[in-house]
Amino acid sequence: MHDIRFIRDNPDQFDAALKRRGIDPVAGTILKIDSKRRGLQARLQEMQSRRNQASKEIGARKAKGEDANALITEVNDIKQQMPQMESEESILAEQLDSWLMGLPNLLDDAVPAGDDENDNELVRSHGSIPTFSFTPRDHVEIGEGLGQMDFALGAKVSGARFVVLRHQLARLERALAGFMLDLHTSEFGYVETIPPYLVNTQTMTGTGQLPKFAEDLYRANDKWLIPTAEVPLTNIVAGEIVDAKTLPLRLTAHTPCFRSEAGSAGRDTRGMIRQHQFSKVELVSITTPIDSAAEHERMTACAEAILQKLELPYRVVRLCTGDTGFSAHQTYDIEVWLPGQNEGRGMYREISSCSNCGPFQARRMKARFRDDNGEAHFVHTLNGSGVAVGRAMIAVLENGQQGDGSVRLPAVLHTYMGSELITAA
């Protein structure tokens, strides 16, 4: 959500910032609504004050036996006018709120210009791309060959973009999540949390999923299924004023995530790359404005550490203006190498997005901190995948595949799995 005071003071700067996202100038429209609303508010305050004053005068005149009819008429006229003006003010407030809630976050100056993922900026790469003596298979062929990944059964039970995992692959999902949580809590200081998987509309609105992205969400009566644990974790501070000494607040959670993928129809229809239900280990940080940039780098490094310990090659890219999400001020994507994709030629695919949202979500949630002088300021919120469990499984399968159809596991998973290999069931 945007600060109307900033727009009042910097309309040209606001429009220029939104232009980077391809949005036409809107400050003039917003300020016209704001000005009309403020005028009505001032007029209502004047009328309220006059009504109170006149009511006192009526009492005083009646006490003296004087005529108060003119004042009574004036008060009645004010009472008749105010409901209509209050209704107009309420409509303008809703229009203003709709504008401020519906526009995306302003981008960091470091975000490169570009239209889509092809214009993202390479920041760094890690690890060596593996070579094989055979044409690498994708995870679908590997999993089905092991007899432990069943998309037909998933479709039978639930429809397209669902899968049933069995035996070692079911255990692998649990092992990956456990490994990620153990690392983030023991080495990086995140607090493991189990949040609700169903949230209310206010919570979804607080992090920016609503109202703009309703079609990508699943609803259950008056609740919404979470598309990411970012939603409940970040909203823990909604409506609060936290002590600056308690920041940064770092939380992690392993949850199922539910997305209708309405905006991605026809994309990644094969396999587990893009499903309606998947699990993810999420990282959320709540911090002060002065520390948020450093926290963003730290969070990204925490997600990278997962891939390093899983011995997976990856690269980090800074998303361009056309690819940065609605609530983000700046985003790093971590893309893991998947050798079985692109008909065995391999390609990088996103496995984590780490975003600094600045105060954008905090304004929507009314989440603040109190500094040493007792003044309240909006917190900065950050979120990142640490990492997507299903895509980590895909990467482990495709990078560890062997010629005989088995999969060699990274050393860090041996204890979790009780085995060094995944073999046919």
**Which of 171, 250, 259, 368 does the annotation list as catalytic?**
259
Of residues 422, 418, 414, the one with CA closest to residue 398:
422
Does residue 166 have an active-site annotation?
A: no
Structure tokens at 40: 């009505």
CA-to-CA distance for 381 and 248, rounded, in angstroms? 10
CA-to-CA distance for 159 and 171, rounded, in angstroms? 23
Does residue 259 have an active-site annotation?
A: yes
Does residue 391 have an active-site annotation?
A: yes
**Which of 38, 51, 61, 274 does the annotation list as catalytic?**
274
CA-to-CA distance for 7 and 31, rounded, in angstroms? 8
CA angle 392, 394, 400 (to 5 degrees): 95
Give the DSSP H/E element, type plus range, for residue 86: helix 69-102
- Decide if 354 contacts 332 (C-beta within 8 A): yes
Contacts of 255 (CB under 8 A, 6+ apart): 194, 195, 197, 226, 228, 229, 279, 280, 282
**Which of 125, 350, 370, 406 does the annotation list as catalytic?**
350
- Decide if 175 contacts 417 (C-beta within 8 A): yes
Does residue 350 have an active-site annotation?
A: yes
**Which of 327, 352, 353, 355 does the annotation list as catalytic?**
353
Does residue 353 have an active-site annotation?
A: yes
Residues with a known catalytic role: 259, 274, 350, 353, 391
